C-alpha cells in the first residue's frame, strides 16, 4: 500500500470514529427518563381555593318550630319574623316573634303558667364576638303567670335593635320560666325551666 493510500485510510477511520462518537452522544437517555425534566411531583401545586363559610339561619324559611321539655311539661314553640330575612340588616330593628303552648304528661288536670321569658343576644362576625345589646325579657304582670296550657298560648315579639355593622349573625338564647300547679286545686307551684337557642343571619 502506498503512503498516500495509508494516509487516506487513516483520515477516513478518524472521521468515522468522530461521527460515531457524535451519534452515541446524540442517542443518550431521553430527558423524560433520566429525571432531568421536572416531574409532576416537582411542579407547583395549585393554590387551594378559599372555602366559603355558610352562615346558619334557623329562620331561613321564614319560621321554625321547636319542642322543648321541662320536667313533665312539653312546650311547643313557634318562631318567626314579620321582617323578610333579606331586610335583617345590622341597622334595622329586627322583630322575632315567639308563640308557645304547653302540655303535660301525665296530665292530672294541673295548670301551667309562664312567669317570665328572657332573651340574651350574642352578636358575631364569623367566629369573632361583637358588642351585643342588653338582654330582653317579658315578666308576667299577673300572678302566678300567663296561662299557657293548651288550648291557651303565649305570644310575644322581641325586637332586636341596631347592631354592630360588621355583624354576620345573631344568636338568641331564650329561657322560659314555668310554674306547674302541684294539684288542680292547689295554690302551690313547682318551678320548671326550658331553654332554646335561635341563630339568625344578618343580611349585607
**Cα end-to-end span (Å), the chain:** 102
Cα 201 to Cα 168: distance, rounded to the nearest angstrom: 6
Cα 149 to Cα 178: distance, rounded to the nearest angstrom: 11
42-78 pLDDT, tens digit per residue, is 555 555 555 556 789 999 999 999 999 999 999 999 9
Return the C-alpha cell found at 100. 308557645
Q: What is the pLDDT at residue 113?
A: 98
Q: What is the pLDDT at residue 145?
A: 98
Cα 73 to Cα 153: distance, rounded to the nearest angstrom: 14
Q: What angle do CA 68, 73, 79 make, to 5 degrees?
A: 35
75-120 pLDDT, tens digit per residue, is 999 999 999 999 999 999 999 999 999 999 999 999 999 999 999 9
Is the pLDDT assigned to residue 161 strictly greater than 90? yes
Cα 112 to Cα 101: distance, rounded to the nearest angstrom: 9
Q: What is the value of pTM for the model shown? A: 0.74
Q: What is the pLDDT at residue 23?
A: 47
CB atoms within 10 A of CB 72: 16
Question: How is the chain split into domains, by residue range?
Answer: 3-34, 63-201
Query: Which 8-state DSSP code applies to residue 127?
Result: T
Average pLDDT over the chain, rounded to whole?
Answer: 85
Q: In CATH, which of 2.60.40.1470, 3.40.190.10, 3.10.450.50, 3.40.50.2300 is domain 63-201?
A: 2.60.40.1470
Amino acid at each position: 500500500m502506498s503512503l498516500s493510500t495509508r494516509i487516506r485510510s487513516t483520515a477516513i477511520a478518524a472521521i468515522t470514529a468522530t461521527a460515531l462518537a457524535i451519534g452515541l452522544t446524540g442517542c443518550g437517555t431521553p430527558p423524560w427518563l433520566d429525571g432531568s425534566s421536572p416531574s409532576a411531583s416537582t411542579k407547583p401545586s395549585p393554590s387551594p381555593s378559599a372555602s366559603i363559610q355558610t352562615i346558619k339561619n334557623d329562620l331561613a324559611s321564614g319560621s321554625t318550630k321547636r319542642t322543648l321539655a321541662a320536667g313533665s311539661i312539653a312546650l311547643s314553640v313557634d318562631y318567626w319574623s314579620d321582617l323578610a330575612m333579606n331586610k335583617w340588616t345590622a341597622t334595622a330593628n329586627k322583630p322575632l316573634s315567639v308563640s308557645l303552648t304547653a302540655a303535660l304528661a301525665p296530665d292530672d288536670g294541673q295548670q301551667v303558667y309562664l312567669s317570665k321569658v328572657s332573651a340574651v343576644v350574642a352578636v358575631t362576625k364569623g367566629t369573632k364576638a361583637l358588642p351585643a345589646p342588653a338582654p330582653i325579657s317579658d315578666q308576667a304582670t299577673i300572678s302566678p303567670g300567663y296561662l299557657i296550657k293548651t288550648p291557651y298560648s303565649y305570644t310575644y315579639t322581641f325586637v332586636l335593635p341596631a347592631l354592630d355593622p360588621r355583624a354576620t349573625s345573631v344568636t338568641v338564647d331564650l329561657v322560659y320560666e314555668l310554674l306547674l300547679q302541684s294539684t288542680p286545686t292547689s295554690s302551690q307551684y313547682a318551678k320548671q325551666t326550658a331553654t332554646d337557642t335561635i341563630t339568625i343571619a344578618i343580611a349585607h
